[in-house]
Amino acid sequence: MKISSPLTRDFAPYFIGYLLAIVLTGCAFSCVYFRLLPPGLTFTIVLGLALIQVIVHMLCFLHVSLQRSARANLQLLIFSAVIIMLMVGGTLVILFNERARMM
């Protein structure tokens, strides 16, 4: 592999992404391992770290970017988000209703 400046430029997002992924995963696991905080707070922190890591993976590995992204790509993401909200919301309403009836 020839070392050149474009190669370094393309290598950077993968390297940074991997580094951030290791740090974020390490934080999440050590939060749970050392049990320094109450469970509720720890779980909130873990979820927050997961959200950040998902965004990091999207930006660094999948190369999703809002500036360069085409309108077609953005429309696709928004459409999927709406579908997911509708279906997840509907599922939760039905399941919680079922649970309430069984109590």
Partner 1 sequence: MSAEITDPELLQAGLNVAAEPREVREHAESDVLGFWVFLMSDAVIFALLFSIYGTMGNATAGGPVPQHEFKFHSAFWETALLLTSSFSYGMVSLSLKHTRHRIWPALWLGVTFCLGAGFLIMEVRDFLTLFHDGATPERSGYFSSFFVLVGTHGCHVFSGLIWIVLMGIQIAMFGLDQRTRLNLIRLGLFWHFLDIIWVVIFSVVYLGALIK
Least CB distance to partner 1 at residue 1 (A): 6
Pattern 46-85, partner 1, x by CB under 8 A: xx-xx--xx--xx--xxx-x--xxxxxx--xx-xx--xx-
Least CB distance to partner 1 at residue 56 (A): 9
Q: Would you list the DSSP string of 19-63?
A: HHHHHHHHHHHHHHHHT-S-HHHHHHHHHHHHHHHHHHHHHHTS-
Distance of CA 50 to the CA centre of its chain: 5
Rank residues 99 and 101 by Cβ distance to partner 1 and give the closer one: 99
